[in-house]
Every structure is written in structure tokens, then in C-alpha cells.
Amino acid sequence: MQKNIDKEKMREFCQKYRRYIAAAVLLILIVLIVVLVVFVSREDGSEDTQKIPDSTQQETQPEDDLAGDTSDEKLQKDADEELVTLINSYYTAYAAADLTSIEMLAAPITDNEKSFITTVAAFYEAYQNIACYSMKATDSAYFVSVCYDLKFYDIDTPAPGMDFFYVERDGEGKLYINNVYANYNFSFMEQEYDSEIYKSIRDYEQLSEVALLQQEVQIRYDEAMKSDEKLADMVSTTLHDAITQWRAGVADNTPSTEPADGTEDSTQPEETETADTQTDTPEPDSTANTDTESKPEDNNVADNSTDDSKPEDSNTGADNSGNGTWQVRTKDVCNIRAAASSDAELIGQIGEGAQLTAVGTDGNWTKIRFSGGTGYIRSDLLEPI
């Protein structure tokens, strides 16, 4: 009975004050909505704040990746189809002594080098298993190391080898081999080269990846020579004698007068049987890498940096007064230094048997002229002519 009375009173109260109750409910709803909106806004603001760094990180991430991306600074195998085609075409032409094709692929090329190619290619059947490793030197140039197996006529075992090329784009954007920086010119110095490019090549040759390739080729080369006596005889005797005879022929056709400008005649035969071109096979006791200049640290090169205190060879015929000039010949493959010190900058390398003009001495060193200018060779590595 009491409950019914209470309900009746509640109903009457609600009917009497329904407007106020509705207003209160509406106010409560408005408050709840405002609170909800504020809360949601804060949540959205918090999420935006968190997303901004993420977005910034995502936008800057490619730049970070680019900064750490050294793909262009890594040695890449057969990565550029145009470059691979150029190198393969060059070796095909070289083995066939196709001088016309070679001149279209590599420039400049001297008459002496043409005769050298004709001489050695007579023994070459083909270049096999050519692998082209490249790295960008500039936007329009490449450092290129090429590993290959050289097959001689009538010999079953090929000789592993490794060459260096400096490849550039010409005015029309076509790749070609800059022959000024080829092994032949580094060894015989018939053409002057840019010192900055030469330094960049030297730095390239110091890279661990390049050194590892050289070691691998050297191991395979040594194994090939030990496994096949005919191959060893071809390289150490037949090919050696042919190059020696070629060098003598070039020397006989070279003017003996000194150029008026005081530099060596560009055709002077600074050739040697141990200084190979890009395609000449190394002799058994030399490195399998035929790049004799761009790797002057080779242990088989008579490096000026060794035994700096060694007494001067009395047979060099050096004019200790420093006046006048005289002719000398290298007794080994020698490094040329910018000053009379084993710590001086290495500015070149010259093959065994190269004829040079000496212009003075400094302690145990002889100052000589060569196509790149003047430099110093340790005196005990020279003999008078």
C-alpha cells in the first residue's frame, strides 16, 4: 500500500516539474557531450603528436638510406650490360689481332702497341670466362677489373689473368676504353696521363675487394702453371722470347736523339718482356694480375720503397755532379718516386729493360726523365748504356 502511494507521488512530482527535469537531463547530456568531445580531441592530438615524428622519420629515411648507400662504391660483377659488351668485344678483337676493331673500342693507341698486340696475339686462341667487375670513378667513368682465362693455341690449360681498364663516355655518351690508363702505357709510358686520375686508380687498386680478386686469380694462376708444363713453357719461354724480340725490333726503329724539349721521345722503347698489356699473360714468377702499374705494391716489382739505405750501385754510371745527362737502363720493373725517398709519392712505374735519360743523382737515387716528367729511381736498379 505504501509503495503505491510513493509511486503516485513520484508520478505527480514528475508531471509537475517535468520541464525542469527535462532541462536538467538536457544539461547533463550537453555536459557529457562536451566532455566526450574534449576527451576525443585530446586523444587525436596525442596521436597526431606521435605520428608527426614517425612521418618525419619516414620522409627522411630515404635520405638516410641514400647517405649510407654505397652501392656505387662497391665492386659490382657484370652490372652494366653496355660495359660488359665493350670489354668482351675488346678481348675478342685483341685475341684476333683485329686492330681496326680495337681502335674503335680503345683510344688512343700507339703504333708500338699495335705491333705488340700483333706479336702476342699470334699465340692467343681466345679469352674465356670473362668476368667484368666495375665501380664508378665519376659520373661518366668507371674503374674496371676483368678476370679471365686465356687459352693459348695447342695448350689445354688456360692461364688465369686479371686486367685493369679506365672506361669513360665520349662526347656522344658512348663508352670507350681510355687507353692512356691501360697497363701498356703504365708500363711503357708512351703517353702522358693525368696525375689525379692516376692517383684515383692507385686508390682503387688498394681496395680490399680488388686485392681479394687479385689473390684469387694469383692462386688459380699458380695452380695452372704447376699443373701444365706446356703452359708454363709457353708463358716463361715462348711468349717471353717473342716479347723480347719485339722489344728489340722497336728499339732498332727508335731514333736515338733526345727530343728538343728535354723529355723522352714518346716512341722510345721503354718496353720490357715483364711489362704486360691488358691482355698479356703474366710470367710464372710474376703476379697473375697483369696490371703492373696500377698495382705497384706487387712484391715482384723492384719497389723503390725497399732497402732505401742500400749502397749505390757503382755500375750505374751516374753523374754525381748532377750536371749533364746520360743513358741508363732498368734492371727490373721499377717504381718512380716524386723525390729521392722511399716515402715520396709514387708517380709511375717502368718495366725491366727500359731506356731512360738520367739527369742527376741524390744520394742513392738517380733522377730520370720519363714521359710523365721527371722522377727518381733507386740507383742500384739502373745500369749505364
- Distance, in Å, from the CA atom of 120 to the CA atom of 13, rounded to the nearest integer, reads 121
The label of the residue with cell 665520349 reads: 170
**Is the confidence at residue 138, as pLDDT, over 70?**
yes
CATH topology of domain 76-237: Nuclear Transport Factor 2; Chain: A, (3.10.450)
Q: What is the pLDDT of residue 56?
A: 43
Q: Work out the average pLDDT over 218-231.
A: 93
Provide the residue ranges of all domains of the chain, joining segments of one domain with +: 2-68, 76-237, 301-384
| Residue 235 CB partners (closer than 8 Å, separation 6+) | 159, 225, 281, 282, 283, 284
- Distance, in Å, from the CA atom of 367 to the CA atom of 348, rounded to the nearest integer, reads 13
Strands, sheet with 365-370, edge to edge from the N-terminal-most edge strand = 346-350, 334-337, 373-378, 365-370, 355-362, 326-330, 382-384
Q: Work out the average pLDDT over 37-58.
A: 53
Share of the chain above pLDDT 70, in %: 67
pLDDT band at 52 (very low <50, low <70, confident <90, very high): very low
**Is the confidence at residue 69, as pLDDT, over 60?**
no
Kindly report the CATH number that applies to the domain delimited by 301-384. 2.30.30.40
Could you please report the per-residue DSSP string of 170-230?
Answer: -TTS-EEEEGGGSHHHHHH--S---HHHHHHHHHHHTSHHHHHHHHHHHHHHHHHHHH-HH
Q: pTM higher than 0.95 for the full model?
A: no
**Is the confidence at residue 298, as pLDDT, over 60?**
no
pLDDT band at 238 (very low <50, low <70, confident <90, very high): very high
| Residue 220 CB partners (closer than 8 Å, separation 6+) | 160, 288
Q: What is the pLDDT of residue 371?
A: 57
Closest CA to 292 of 272, 273, 276, 271: 276
Cβ distance 293 to 183 under 8 Å?
A: yes
pLDDT band at 220 (very low <50, low <70, confident <90, very high): very high
Rounded to the nearest integer, the mean pLDDT of the chain is: 74
Q: What is the pLDDT of residue 49?
A: 47
The label of the residue with cell 662526347 reads: 171
